[in-house]
Structure 1
Amino acid sequence: MTSTSTATRRVGKPRGAYAKTDEKRRVILDAALEVFAQSGYRAGSIRDIAERVGMSEAGLLHHFPNKSALLAAVLERRDVRGEQLVPIDDASIGRATIAGLLELASYNASTPGVVALYCTLSAEGTSPDHPAHEYFVRRYDWMREGLEKAFTVIQREGGLQPGVRPLSAAVRTVALMDGLQVQWLLDRDVLDMTEELRGFLRTIVSYEL
């Protein structure tokens, strides 16, 4: 029978190891985000990322088996905050989803590296053989569908401008947000993403934003 002290030590060590592993993964993902944002996925290398975190390539690959897996983890991490701000999977609440878009635009303005990564990879991902291609296909389908549902709820509540179709509103909203991000990356003083999005949404919905 294992003694209490021995059992405690055995439980404690893995917890410490897991914490260190999680922290190391976080550091690697931060570095990968920077490299992919600056160089793109194809040009950004495992070696560049490993050097930024003071690791060997083999050491980095211990945490992520290959470059594609690393990219998937970076994109997943990027999505977490967005999903917290925009309740798109519960589009039945309609107006909260649209309000969340404005919060997301404000948040994005505080994370230029993440915005740059998204813009770079979404352009690269139009190629069918790119590792992020399916991710962006699914993401745009998900965003259009979620926002269409949200605008449909708003329409039922009488909050959509006359003649505006929910699907068209969803498509235009996504297009505007992505286009604003590119312009903002080129010159951050030329526009305020949140206010430009707010102004556009006011042409779609009939309530105060």
Structure 2
Amino acid sequence: MTSDAEGHSRGPYAKSAARRAEIIASATLVFGTHGYRGGSLRQIAKQLDLGLTTVMHHFPTKASLLAAVLEQEDAADTDFSARSERDGFIASVLAIVERNLGRRELVRMFSIVSAEATHPDHEAHAWLLERYRAVTATYTDAIAADRDRGRLRAGDDPRALADLVVSGWEGIQIRWLTDDTDPVAAMRLLLTRLLEPAPPGSHPWPD
């Protein structure tokens, strides 16, 4: 049973966590509309009807808030390798594309901030480089493993295939954000043509 002291101690913590979540959600919208350079802590505070000092109590700098926003994207796919081993690379990628249909503003923010972060002086440049490195490495391993299992037949270098999947995916997301082109259908076609999945009903493991 939870004691009164424990209940009181959890109250302020829960309130602080909820406030941080509100600020991160607002920052996602502001950065997705104005970009990181164009957005400001003052805009985020105004959107939430808060004082600037309240926002800065949780996130002292805009860079620290950007880091918290970007962590949402990183945290979402921590189980990709296990899911890919179980369901296959193509199915696992399509599951994320389908999930992103409900995270439009986060995807928009990610696309805009990523474009800005291509400049070496941008606060998120190091994060973007590391994210491309980590995602490409994960996808390379998953594609190679699926090919060894007989799930995929494409004979090209797995690293080159992983690079194309990442680049194609980002382009498809931008089209979806712009004109509602179906990202699931487009990504399914890209993955099918690029990776050559084994026909349905074929043995998933090579002899």
TM-score, normalized by length of structure 2? 0.88
Q: Does the 8 Å CA contact 1:41/1:121 hold for their aligned counterparts?
A: yes
Which contiguous aligned blocks of 4+ residues in structure 1 show a shift greater than 6 angstroms? none
Aligned pair partner of 1:173 in 161, 165, 172: 165
Superposition RMSD in Å: 2.0
Matches within 5 A, 1:189-208: 191-203=181-193, 204-207=195-198
Q: Does the 8 Å CA contact 2:151/2:197 hold for their aligned counterparts?
A: yes
What residue is the counterpart of 1:73 in the other structure?
68
Separation in 1 of the partners of 2:186 and 2:7? 51
Task: List per-residue Cα deviations over 1:51-102 (Å, max 9, x = no partner).
Answer: 1112111111111121111000011023322335xx13x4882753432210
Matches within 5 A, 1:109-128: 109-128=101-120
What residue is the counterpart of 1:138 in the other structure?
130
Greater shift after overlay, 51-60 or 24-33? 51-60
Q: Does the 8 Å CA contact 2:140/2:161 hold for their aligned counterparts?
A: yes
Q: 1:201 to 1:92 in 2, by over 3 A?
A: closer
Secondary structure of 1:83's aligned partner: coil
Greater shift after overlay, 162-171 or 173-182? 162-171
Separation in 2 of the partners of 1:49 and 1:13? 29
Q: 1:186 to 1:208 in 2, by over 3 A?
A: farther
- Amino acid of the residue matched to residue 10 of structure 2? R
Greater shift after overlay, 172-181 or 152-161? 152-161
Aligned pair partner of 1:31 in 22, 26, 30: 26
What residue is the counterpart of 1:160 in the other structure?
152
Structure 1 position 9, deviation (Å): 3.7
Secondary structure of 2:12's aligned partner: helix
Aligned pair partner of 1:12 in 7, 15, 20: 7
Separation in 1 of the partners of 2:13 and 2:71? 20
Q: Does the 8 Å CA contact 2:100/2:107 hold for their aligned counterparts?
A: yes
Task: List per-residue Cα deviations over 1:135-172 (Å, max 9, x = no partner).
Answer: 11000001111100011111212233243221111011
Q: Does the 8 Å CA contact 1:92/1:153 hold for their aligned counterparts?
A: no
- Any unmatched runs of 5+ in structure 2? 201-207
TM-score, normalized by length of structure 1? 0.87
- Any unmatched runs of 5+ in structure 1? 1-6
- The number of residue pairs the alignment matches comes to 198
